[in-house]
Amino acid sequence: MTDVVWLIPALPLAGFLVLLVAGRRLGEPGAGWLATAACGGSFLATLVVYAGLLGEEEHSRSSVTTLFEWMPVGDLQVDVGFLADPLSIAMALFITGVGTLIHLYSIGYMHGDADFPKFFVYLNLFVFSMLLLVLGSNLLVTFVGWEGVGLCSYLLISFWFTDEANASAGKKAFVTNRVGDWGFLLAIFLAFATLGTVDYGELAAGAGELAGVTATAIALLLFLGATGKSAQIPLYIWLPDAMAGPTPVSALIHAATMVTGGVFLMTRVNPILAAGYDWAPDVIAWVGVVTAFVAATIAVAQNDIKKVLAYSTISQLGYMFLAVGVGAYVAAVFHMITHAFFKALLFLGSGSVIHGMGGEQDMRRMGGLRKVMPVTAATFIVGWLAIAGVPPFSGFFSKDEILLYAWGSGGAQGRALWAIGLVTALLTAYYMSRQVFMVFFGEPRWDEPVAASAGAAAADGGEAGDGTAGEAGHAEVRPHESPWQMTVPLVVLAVLSAVGEVINLPFTDDLHFLERWLHPVVGANEAHIDVATGTKWALAVGAAVLALVGILVAAAVYLRRRVRAVEPSVLAHAWYYDEAITRFAGGPGTRFFEAVAWFDAHVVDGAVNGVAALVRTGGRRLRAVQSGFVRSYALGISAGVVVLLGYFIARLYV
Amino acid sequence: MAVFGSLSQPLPADPTPVETPSVDWAAAAPLLVLVGGALVLMLWSSFVRSRRATHLYTAFTCLVAVGAIGAVVPLWREVQDADRGPFSTFGGAVGVDGFSLFMTVVIAVAVALAALFIDDYLRREQLESVEPFVLVLLSAAGGVIMSQANDLIVLFLGLEILSIAVYVLAASHRRRVTSQEAGVKYFVLGAFSSAFFLYGIALVYGGTGTTNLIEILEYFSTTVVTDDGLVLAGLALMLVGLGFKVAAVPFHFWTPDVYQGSPTPMVTWMASGVKAAGFAGLIRVLVLAFDAYAVDWQPIVFALAVATLFVGAVLAVVQTDVKRMMAYSSINHAGFVLVGVQAATDQGVEAALFYLAAYTFLIAGTFGVITLVGRRGDGHHRLDDYRGLARTQPGLALVLTLFLLAQAGVPLTSGFFAKFYVIVAAVDAGSTVLAVVAMLSSVISAYLYLRITVSLYMSDPTEEGAPRLRVPVAAGIALALCVAVTLVAGVWPGSIAETARDAVPVLAAVG
């Protein structure tokens, strides 16, 4: 049954093509339903393949279906093939499953938008690219999907392209990812040059023969790619800005699927990581945990409902990289899946709130919404408890698993990783509770003007972007519950967030379903920790207590108003990282990411400062050369002649 | 040489007839089709005077191009035939191998694309005449000669036939001063660089005693040269001439000015066909004949490639005129092809061939769209003129987006594999540094393509009253072809890549 694996990406591709041709004719809601059906069909196909794999013996649960010979490279041949194995199917299951729910949700959310069909064109293209990414049988097919999701992300963020903020955010996403892609491509070439293959099966088999330095280089270059796609330090700046796009996009791309691509990649190449130097995984673990912590601190002081979730996503992805770094691949995938459930839920819930509030995104203008939006509130609260790490919701178990492995990785480093992770868990509980209390509890503040001093954080991009544009007038806000297409996905995701932990319960070995499922792929390089059962319980109880502490503190601050809120402006401004980059945009190293926006403001708008100034001061001579005078061009050519001749003559006598 | 030898001897009583080299006319068929087509077109135009004549000229030019491709097919079979193989003719001056045939097809395709874009342009600018078509065909004939040349003199002849026609094309918009200026600049600088090239040939002749590439190769393999100053200096000067044609930095100065000033559809030809021919000559000289000197010229090509990649990418980003941007972008592309040349391996040449084939469609398509957006007067080339194009012309904007993404090297387009193959070739040849530099430059230039794309999809048109663009039939056909090839080669690059693999250049003896 595994040979129908090609159907999984083919259905969204077919949906994309049909919508591209006939999208306008199908109109609303036809185009939306078609796209949803394509994604749903893909989910069913994934189930079939899953069943097929289950029927196999554990060691033979891996099959490559080659579609066609793709391209000859030197003496090698690269095929377009799909790899159906436990890891790729686990990914495909939640991508298509959550993807279908988000498609359904979008039908309600995008209601009335002039570009309704086009939105679904992109959405299906995205699902196709993402499936290509996870199902590809070699690095190159994965790379095609990798670029494809980046492109879709860019297109979907700039969906309302008349909006300058969106277009700029889209560009930031594209260019930052391009830097990451550069690392990815270098890794591919390096694998080519040393192992002569990019096929996952052959890479895993040949990784052992790699020199330590080469394996480390490939792994870290892939990790550079992963930091771009999965928004880790230092390439994370695009993700908060990407929230300018429509909310279902944020849910699908920037929470549930695309951003996990980096974690998937690192899990996929675990044999290479294992063949490298020991410090390479440590780098990944530290980047992960520091990102988790920094992003959590920033989330504490955001007022835009989506930006809180954006930084929270960065933080949770940091946990996953921490897991990869300490060799807890199963825990990484486990958290990836539960995160897909609860973060999609939270994003869609926030979209429902924004929809009900008529486009408002500032949490200071919300409050008391649980009375008017009961379904949204109830489901959001489930998502909140899941991410905050309250047992028995799913997030508690997956996060606890990661912290356990961090603790178990031993030494002072293991303790440090664990401690930072734990503090981050506390912060997570705190900022998520803050969000829930500000949005759904307390007094309604729907018509209150926001204090001018606090406007800064909301103003930088998020405010302008979202929602069913046009009805955002502040005259009188009457929040209302969203239509069934939106609430049904919320309920389904809430159930999954609540019980998603059953795929890998820690209590007895019999309950480690996910671990056994993934064993053929990661088993060989999975870390084995030796922690006493009592310690395990102590760690789990400690984490749970800490989560409750976080919630109680937030309640004291934002619900009871007993304590004054501490929201330092340094956190509201995301540690000034973004601004710092902007300020030093002239520097060569930073030019490629944030300076993009800076370039744009100065060059696209035709102002002769900015880059032009750079060129003028730095390259006055260069300008003089490109003067338009034939004589100076001839001089330039002559100079070239002299250099060339000089070189050859020098070769003669040296 | 035999001729000079016989002069020094006393004349024999009854003079033996001079032996003319055997001529395989079939081997010259593609060239003859192009030249013959140009001549027929010129004669025909003096008899036929019709208002619809431009359409006919276009159709005829395309027919000639297709005919040239058709003439390649039997030759290609012959060359691929294990019993026959590549061969030389015209006394060893013209080589028929997979490489020259591949380049002939690329050049013929560029002719057809250019003609399709020129068609409506001439009507729009009220410049209806037959000359542009004739000139493109003649220029293409020069290009074909260059890609077949097995003799430096023949190469030079081809270069001049190619160039002189292009100078006229650059200046062919009679009422635009910028076009005149472009023509004069191109001509003066072209003549300047040709002089270097010719002098280089003279020095190589001085050093080796021959201008024939086959004999040069033989000379180096059989002779130990103790004092090779002449050869090296000659090589350097020839590099200047060819570097000028392919717009390698620092011989690129003319490119932005000429591309900006010339009529846009003529730039289509300059950026595709002319560049391809230049690389054909460069590869024949460097990789084939001067293989023995690879260690000497590789560092130079390395330096040229690095400079070309970076100047192209960086200066493209700071332009505000789209034609200038694309001029620098084409310089950047030339850098990529140079990366393939620098490898000095069969794989490198394959990669360069694939790159040139893919790039011809990309750049022709891009300049085709620019031709249309330029509107009457060919003056709307500021970035601002592209703002909001997606609103008024969604189809055209989508097509341009595709070309730009392909130029940026995004997967599922031909551009990705073009860059991919070149970089793999460089890595395999041990030029890892160059591979990394090339990729860095593509990160920089990605920003350029993105900038134009964003303009397309953002903001309202600055001139609300601007009339809707109409995509003429001929240009539509050309664009459709470019889009199709770009996408198909992006998904199934195999067929082009394998053809390029079979097109490895060989210096074969006369046969």
Q: Do A637 and B497 touch (CB under 8 A)?
A: no
Confidence bin at A150 (pLDDT 50/70/90) = confident
Q: Which residue, among A153, A626, A633, would best test binding to B if mutated, counting the most B CBs under 10 Å from its CB?
A: A633
Residue A170 is predicted with a pLDDT of 66
Structure tokens, A613: 């100034």
| Chain B residues within an 8 Å CB radius of A148 | 411-412
pLDDT of B463 higher than 60: no
- Cα B164–chain centre separation: 15
Round to whole Å and give the CA distance between B92 and A258.
59
Q: Do B436 and A186 touch (CB under 8 A)?
A: yes
pLDDT of B261 higher than 50: yes
pLDDT in tens, A504-536: 887 777 778 888 888 888 878 888 888 888 888
Residue A248 is predicted with a pLDDT of 85
Q: Which residue has the tokens 């996910």?
A: A514
Confidence bin at A591 (pLDDT 50/70/90) = very low
B294 in contact with A at a CB cutoff of 8 Å?
no
* Bridge-based pairing state of the strands A76-84 and A63-73: antiparallel
Residue A477 is predicted with a pLDDT of 66
Confidence bin at A195 (pLDDT 50/70/90) = confident
Name every residue whose Cβ is closer than 8 Å to that of residue B109 and which is 6 or more positions away in sequence: B65, B69, B360, B361
Nearest CA in chain B to A75: B347
Confidence bin at A412 (pLDDT 50/70/90) = confident
Residue A631 is predicted with a pLDDT of 75
Tell me the pTM: 0.81
Residue B439 is predicted with a pLDDT of 86
Residue A99 is predicted with a pLDDT of 92
Q: Do A603 and B256 touch (CB under 8 A)?
A: no
pLDDT of A160 higher than 70: no
Nearest to A9 by CA among A137, A118, A119: A137
pLDDT of B237 higher than 60: yes
pLDDT of A230 higher than 70: yes
pLDDT of A585 higher than 50: no
> Would you tell me how many other CB atoms lie within 10 Å of the CB of residue B71?
22
| Chain B residues within an 8 Å CB radius of A635 | none
pLDDT of B167 higher than 90: yes
pLDDT of A407 higher than 50: yes
pLDDT of A473 higher than 60: no
Residue A82, φ and ψ in degrees, nearest 5: -115, 135
Residues B487 and B479 sit within 8 Å (Cβ to Cβ): no
Residue A134 is predicted with a pLDDT of 93
Residue A648 is predicted with a pLDDT of 82
Highest mean pLDDT among A404-408, A583-587, B9-13, B335-339: B335-339
Q: Would you tell me which residues 50-79 of chain B have a C-beta closer than 8 angstroms to some C-beta of chain A?
A: none
Q: For the complex shown, is ipTM > 0.90? A: no
Residue A245 is predicted with a pLDDT of 76
Mean pLDDT of B425-452: 85
Mean pLDDT of B93-100: 92
pLDDT of A158 higher than 50: yes
Give B400 to chain A, closest Cα distance, Å: 15
Mean pLDDT of A19-46: 88
Round to whole Å and give the CA distance between A147 and A162.
24
- For the CA atoms of A595, A598, A604, A610, the dihedral, rounded to the nearest 10 degrees, stands at -100
Confidence bin at A582 (pLDDT 50/70/90) = very low
Residue A73 is predicted with a pLDDT of 67
The overall average pLDDT reported for chain B is 88
Q: State percent of chain B over pLDDT 70.
A: 94
Confidence bin at B403 (pLDDT 50/70/90) = very high
Q: Do B250 and A612 touch (CB under 8 A)?
A: no
Confidence bin at A364 (pLDDT 50/70/90) = confident
| Chain A residues within an 8 Å CB radius of B250 | 636-637, 639-640, 643
| Residue A417 one-letter amino acid | L
pLDDT of B267 higher than 90: yes
Q: Is A634 exposed, middle or buried (0-12, 13-18, 19+ CB in 10 A)?
A: middle
The overall average pLDDT reported for chain A is 80
pLDDT of A577 higher than 70: no
A175 in contact with B at a CB cutoff of 8 Å?
yes
A570 in contact with B at a CB cutoff of 8 Å?
no
Round to whole Å and give the CA distance between A426 and A403.
13
* Closest CB to B347 among A74, A171, A612: A74
Eight-class DSSP state of A74: T
Q: State percent of chain A over pLDDT 70.
A: 81
Please state which of the ranges A263-267, A568-572, B451-455 shows the lowest mean pLDDT.
A568-572
B398 in contact with A at a CB cutoff of 8 Å?
no
Nearest CA in chain A to B238: A641
Q: Do A151 and B405 touch (CB under 8 A)?
A: yes
